[in-house]
Every structure is written in structure tokens, then in C-alpha cells.
Amino acid sequence: MATPQRTATAPDEGFSPPTERIAAIRAELLSTPYSICLERPRLLEQFWKSHQGRLSSRTEHPLVHRAMALQYLFSRRRPRIYENELIIGNMTSKRIAANYYIEGGSINILEDLARMGKRTVPLRLSVPETFELLGIGLRNTFRSVGAKALLRPSRISSFLDFFRAKRHFITEEAGVAHQVGNYRMVVREGLRHPYEEAGKRLQEGRLADGSTLDANQIAFYRSVRLTIDGIRKMAENLAAEAERMAASPGVSGQRRAELLASAQACRRVPFEPARTYHEGLQAVWIVHMAMNLEDFEQGLSFGRMDQILLDLYRRDVEQARLTPGQATEMTASFCLKACETMPLYSQRVDRFFSGIGVAQAFTLGGTDGEGNDVTNELSGLILDAYAQILTREPAVHVRIHPGTPEWFLHKSVELLQLGTSRPSMFGDTAVVRALEEAGMTREHARDYAVIGCVEMASQGRTYNSSDAALFNLPLCLELALNGGARFHGKARIEGKRRFGAATMPVDAMKTFDDVLEAFRAQVRNGVDDLVKVIGWLEEVYRTTRPTPVNSILTEGCLESGRDVTWGGGLYDYTSIQAAGLADAGDSLYALKKVVFDERRFSLPEFVGILKDNFRGREALRVELVTKLPRYGNGDPEADRMTQLAADAFADALLAHRNTRGGRYVPGFYSMTCHIGFGRVTGALPNGRAAGHRLSNGLAPSDGSEHLGPTAVLRSAASLDSRKWMNCCALNLKFDSRVIGGRTGRNALASLFRDYFSRGGMQVQVNVLDPETLKEAKRDPASHPGIVVRVAGYCAYFNDLQPDVQDEIIERTAHGIA
């Protein structure tokens, strides 16, 4: 166990400024326009058309065919090395670009084809490229997993449901990704380990337990070898490019040495174990690229780098090969690489996931398997490195537990005070409890790392489709109050079709429990529908788009001879997140109070008022908003209703298994789906008008926070989160003027400790000055680099849709009146 040590930069000394190199890379990235990379689809189409591609699609197992395609892609993409960088390996063919994933959901971008430069997030694409993009899109319309799963006559209503995104938004259609791979193995053993293991299985024709390999398992082990061959070639191509550049005239002596060092590293890793901190970072980066090229870009995370790289770092420092300052610079260069990628969302989809977040996450601090604190000097150094760049990627998360050293909590808060909303904080006690509840051993649960925004994995052991779908929870109450139909469905599109389940008509409901039961039935019905559609997607993944890279990085697959999409992962989950939790809870409370306790209205009367969207009843609407107790003010009665709503969702999910045999588990975060869902959700009993955004993640509903942040945190911590395997997102926003300085730092540190000691699971903070944000909205050029936390992820403020910007501005700034 490591003793907590002071970091290179002591907590009270603040953060050191970036080196010239880091400042230069950062400046270049910030001034680079976004684009779309067409290299991946181009190479895949080439492969599919090639002799090998055509032959293997007919004669080979789908796993092998897929691995061949990936090998083709990895080994033929052109390496690009940029000025100044110490860690090399290009995410795409351009400096900053989104990959186009034919098999995923990228086709949605064709909706914006005529206005690429005029989007909220403009994309720069030449005219020939635009035509090429159109061609790729049209030629491959039916190659996407979503199309294969849903574009069948019998499934057309599910397709429309998916497309309209009212009840839910199925993210898994675009890919699974969302992984914290086994980078520990990559760094310590190298890919040689799985490569040789696969070779041994194939040679012996048996699993390690002696059972004979079947055809699928043989195909799996072959896919592992083919894929690793591809990754090796990709690394070698990078090395060759670095050598070529080092040899070219006009290169400074220092740069030549750096390039040769990179080349040397890429000739070795990730196939062989890393020997130095530099090789460790380089190994992780190459495998991370392979992960990005395989599935899609979302939530591919680095995990507990302060643990994985610690030995290498300490040895380098002890043997005087590396100073902490050099290590910080190298780490910052690594972090900046994460800015090269972005998702491809059309304006329509961007409403649900505004801010082009990818969330390649570091998880720092926490405990070992026995519960001993393992926060170390590298945990602090990685915070230092991020403090030098403050960019939209990567994501940084810290684990807080009772033994977290004070310097680390303080340093984390000081980073928060810089205004990028990083790091977000996770409470080990609550998280580990939920992971154990979901079937992990305590030791594995304690080795958790955050996937992307807030989702959970035991690092390198979990296949969690952690962002499979988002679910509109308050809509279930609307359906429950209208016999399964929306208050105002568009009859022409939806026909006479009920939207939800046929639950008891309102005039037959006699008690609050009748309402609650109908609500639960609607939730179950919505979840059942989702599980059905996700099952279709899972089948398509298994048969046409397995993920060998991911399988190499997930314990259990090599042992069982099964790809992760075939259920090979040691732990397997599918996670669905509820949006609008507090609105649902507060609405249940309001209904009970006004209709069943005070009997001010009959239920049909009250529902009539909701259907009319409180028309002519503004006084009532405002009274419901302002005078009734609500979640978020430390009121146990109000909080209990939010718990009921959360339990309804969790229980509906926990009743299901995915087709790989893994559990369905809930999360409570909403990306920006609470805005998209809000637009299509009718008036709610808590006074929320039709069309207004829903409550965000675990946050109180709009206008509910009367008592400030301490009460919000108390309410949040009071909820029973044992079933929330996929965690939650609780946004708090503070005015920078209030929580600045050492006083603010100490106060926030106390606030977090108190929250986590009460059982809090997660919290993330925006430290912002509303005036600055208003200015940034009016004149985007005035503040190009403001990073805000939107849901579980961070984004440049300028990249957000205007209504999301408004929400960030409006969200209660916890100051002192």
C-alpha cells in the first residue's frame, strides 16, 4: 500500500502554468475547426469490396470477418504526428474530427448535410468531402446496427418510437463502447499476453479448463490474434512515421530525439509490457485509439491511471530518468490527445446530448481491494496535468472515501475552482455498496472506475452497455393519468394507438395507491418495450458487429472464448438512465396532497387541468410550484416520494436480463435528454408546464431549491442508492465569487465530506459567474474556452444549444443573498 505523499505541486501552492509545448498544442487545438473523418468508412468499404472481404464474409465466422475488417483498418490508416506532442497516435485523419461509423448511428448527420457550417457546432467539410459523405451514408443506410435491428415491417412502430424519442432514447443503436478496458494488463503484460493465450487455446483446441473449443470459440481466438496483429501494425506504422519525420531536414535536435523516443516506444508497446512511464502512456493511447476505431467514441475511459502507471512513474523518478515536471508535461500531452475526437450528432440529436461530450475518463484516488487508501503522488500529478490544459476532454473523476487524504480533496476542489467543473466526485461507500448489490465481489467493486460521465465498471472486468438508453420517467405519470395515452398525442402519427399500457381509467381510481400502481405499470411497460428493442440490437451486435478489441480488454472473454457481445465479460450489465426523477417524485407528492389528502379536486378534475396545461389556472400552477414541499429541501416526506419514483424505475429494470445473461441496472442521469423529453411531456402535477424541461439527473426540479446546497445534498444523500449500479449525476452550481479562495475551498471540501459520509454517491460542481456566461452567450467569441458541466460531461459553453446555455445560466447560483 502506498503512503499518501505530497505531490509535485503542494496543495497550497496552486497549479503550475503549462509549459510552452503544452500551451502551443492547446492553442492549436482550440483554434482548429471541427470536421468529419471519412478515412474509417473509406477503408471499411474498401475492405468489404476487396477479394478478402468478399470471401471472408461468405466463408468465415462473423467474428473472424469482423476482425479482418478491423485489422485492415488498423494497419492501413495513415499515421499522423503533430508538432510538439510527446504521445503520438492520431484519432482520426484530421486534427479534430468525428469518426463516421457506418455500423453505428452516424447516418443522422445527413440531416444536416445542407448546413454543415451553420450548425450550433459547425463542421468544416469541403464540397467533394460532403458528396463523399452523402455517398457513404446512402450506400450504407442498411448496414447500421439500428437499421438491421429495426427496419423490418414487424418492427416499424418500435422504429418510429425510437426516432421520435418521446418515451426513451435508445443510445445503444449507435454502439456500446462505454468501457474501462483492462489497461493494467496492457501496461504490465502487453498484448503479447492475450495474443499468446489465444494462440495456446487454438493450438490445444481446448479452454484452460480442458473443455473442447467449439466453432464459435475457435473463431473468437482467431479474432483476438487478427485484431492484435492489426494493432501492432498500427503501432509500427506510427513508429515508421516518427522515424521518417526525425530524419527529415529542418527538424531540431530536441524534436528529433523526441520523435525517435516515440518511435522506439511504438516499436515495443502495446505488444510488449511498458518499461517506462512514457511507454505506459503510449501503450494506453494506442489501445485507446483501437477502441475508438472499433465501436464508437462514447465513454471510452482510461480508468485508474494513478494506480496503473504508479510503479513505472516511481521507478523512472528514482532512477532519475524523469522529473515530476516532465511527467506532468507528458501527461498533459496525453490528455490533449483526447481532444482530437468528438461525436457526430445532427442538430436534432444534439438536443438530447448537447455539448459534443465524449467523456474519456480518468478515475483517481480511492482504495485497494482491502479498502486501504491508495491515493498517491500520481493522483495529484494527473490533476496538475489537467489543470494546465482545462479542455473539454478528458473527463477527470476522483474517488472520495473516509481515508482520502486531505491534500487530495483540497487539490481536487482547487481544480474545481478553476471553473471547468472537473473533477466530479464519487463517494466510495455508496458506489461500492451498489456494485456489490449488483453482484460484484467486494474486491472487484473496490476496483471500480468511472465509465465516461458517471457510469460504473470494475475496471477491466465489466461489459456494461452503460448508456444503452435514456428513459422519460415523468411521461409514465402522464400515461398513468390518461389510461395509457399522452394528454395530447398527434393522432395522425400515433393513430388511436395507446402510447403506454392500458391502466385503470382515472375516474375509476379511488386512492393514491391506484395512481401509484398505474404509474408503476406504465414504467414497467416502457421498460419492457425498451428491453425488447435492445434485445434486437444485441442480436445484431452478436451476429454482425462483435468487438474483439473490447473483448481483449475485458476479463472473462479470454477465459471463456467468447466475445463481450456474446456474454464473455466477467460482469455483464445493460444500464438505462431515468430523466426527470425529481419531477416524477414531486408530482406524486403533489397529487397525493392536493387530490387525495386535501381533496381540493377530484382526480378527473385535476387531470383535466393538466390536460389544459393549467390554462386559466396559473395561480394554481404557481401555488403547486412554490408552496408544496419538494425534493431537495431536506424534507423527508417529499424525498420519500422521489424514492418511490426511483424504486419504480429500478424495480422495473432489475426484473430483466439482457440476452447475454447480464442484469439490467438503473442510473439517474439525463445528459441533456431532460430538455428533449421535456418538450414532448405534458403538464405535470407539480406545476411544471407542458414542454418545460424536466429535472436533471438527481437534481431537484426547477425552482425547488429553497434552502441552498446543504439541503439539496442532504436530500440526495438520503435516497437509498443501493440499486443504482450505474450511479447518478447531481449537479450543483456555485457562483465563483462565493466559493473562491481558501475559504471556499475548505467549505466545499467539508460539504463533500459531509455528503459522502451521509451516503452520497456522486456530485459535480459548476463554479461559474452568471454574468460571464451571459456575456459568452451574447458574444461567443469573448469566452471561447469556458467549460461547463452539462449533465455528467463537460462541454465548451459555446458548443451548447441556446436553451441548454440558458439552463446553465439560470440554474440556481448558490450564493449568499
Partner 1 sequence: MGSPDPLVFSLQHFCLHDGPGIRSLVFFKGCPLRCPWCQNVESWKVSPEVAFKPGLCISCGTCVEACPEHAVTAVGRRDASRCRLCFTCVERCPSGAMTLIGKQLSPEEVMETLRPEFPLLKDSGGGVTFTGGEPTLFPDFAARLAGLLRAEGIDVAMETCGLFDHESLQPLLNKLHLVLFDIKIHDPGRHRNICGADNDAIKRNLKSLAEAMHRHEGPVVWPRLPLVPAMTDGQDNIRGWAGFLRGLGLSRLTVVPYHPMGSGKRRWLGLPDGPALRTHTDTEIEHIEELFTEEGIRAYKPGEEDFPPHERCPATHRGANDEP
Binding site for partner 1 (CB under 8 A): 618-620, 622-623, 626-627, 634, 707-711, 714, 738-739, 741-744, 746-747, 750-751, 753-754, 757, 814, 816-817
Between the CA of residue 241 and those of 228, 293, 427, what are the distances in Å? 20, 20, 44
Rg (C-alpha) for the chain, rounded Å, is 26
Provide the phi-psi class of 661: left if phi over 0, else alpha when psi is between -120 and 50, else beta. left
Reading the block at residue 710, the C-alpha cell is 446543504
For residue 758, the minimal CB distance to partner 1 (Å) is 8
For residue 705, the minimal CB distance to partner 1 (Å) is 11
Reading the block at residue 592, the C-alpha cell is 397525493
Nearer to partner 1 (CB atom), residue 448 or residue 752: 752
Read off the amino acid at residue 420.
T
Nearer to partner 1 (CB atom), residue 691 or residue 741: 741
Reading the block at residue 729, the C-alpha cell is 449525476
For residue 620, the minimal CB distance to partner 1 (Å) is 7
Nearer to partner 1 (CB atom), residue 664 or residue 752: 752
Residue 582 and residue 702: Cα distance in Å, rounded? 9
Nearer to partner 1 (CB atom), residue 558 or residue 751: 751
Residue 261: its H or E element: helix 253-268
97-99 and 341-342 as β-strands: parallel, antiparallel, unpaired? parallel
For residue 744, the minimal CB distance to partner 1 (Å) is 6
Buried b (16+ CB within 10 A) or exposed e, 397-413: bbbbbeebbebbbbbbb
Nearer to partner 1 (CB atom), residue 114 or residue 619: 619
Count of CB atoms within 10 A of residue 488's CB? 14
| Location of C-alpha cell 401509484 | 516
513-516: list long-range contacts, CB under 8 Å, 24+ apart: 515/480, 515/481, 515/588, 515/591, 515/603, 516/588, 516/644, 516/648
For residue 732, the minimal CB distance to partner 1 (Å) is 11
Nearer to partner 1 (CB atom), residue 337 or residue 814: 814
Nearer to partner 1 (CB atom), residue 115 or residue 600: 600
Nearer to partner 1 (CB atom), residue 166 or residue 745: 745
For residue 622, the minimal CB distance to partner 1 (Å) is 4
Instruction: Write the secondary structure of 515-555 as one string of H (helix), E (strand) and C (coil).
Output: HHHHHHHHHHHHHHHHHHHHHHHHHHHHHHCCCHHHHHCCC
| Location of C-alpha cell 382526480 | 603
CB 616, CB 505: distance < 8 Å: no
Nearer to partner 1 (CB atom), residue 206 or residue 410: 410
Nearer to partner 1 (CB atom), residue 121 or residue 409: 409
424-427 and 762-768 as β-strands: parallel, antiparallel, unpaired? antiparallel
| Location of C-alpha cell 487539490 | 411
Who's near 119: CB < 8 A, 6+ residues apart?
112, 347, 350
For residue 765, the minimal CB distance to partner 1 (Å) is 13
Nearer to partner 1 (CB atom), residue 505 or residue 741: 741
Nearer to partner 1 (CB atom), residue 95 or residue 688: 688
For residue 397, the minimal CB distance to partner 1 (Å) is 23
For residue 594, the minimal CB distance to partner 1 (Å) is 12
DSSP helix/strand/coil, 556: coil
For residue 714, the minimal CB distance to partner 1 (Å) is 6
The secondary structure of residue 661, as a DSSP letter, is S
Instruction: Respond yes or no on whether the N-terminal peptide bond of residue 270 is cis (omega within 30° of 0).
Output: yes
For residue 759, the minimal CB distance to partner 1 (Å) is 13
Who's near 753: CB < 8 A, 6+ residues apart?
400, 409
Nearer to partner 1 (CB atom), residue 55 or residue 622: 622
For residue 632, the minimal CB distance to partner 1 (Å) is 13
Residue 323 and residue 470: Cα distance in Å, rounded? 45
Nearer to partner 1 (CB atom), residue 81 or residue 707: 707
For residue 619, the minimal CB distance to partner 1 (Å) is 4
Listing DSSP states for 201-214 in one string gives: HHHHTB-TTSPBP-
**636-654 vs 473-480: helix axis angle to the nearest 10?**
90
For residue 6, the minimal CB distance to partner 1 (Å) is 22
Nearer to partner 1 (CB atom), residue 100 or residue 752: 752
CB 766, CB 421: distance < 8 Å: yes
For residue 739, the minimal CB distance to partner 1 (Å) is 7
Residue 565 and residue 176: Cα distance in Å, rounded? 9
35: which strand partners? 97
490: which strand partners? none
Count of CB atoms within 10 A of residue 747's CB? 16
| First CA to last CA distance, the chain | 46
Read off the amino acid at residue 119.
R
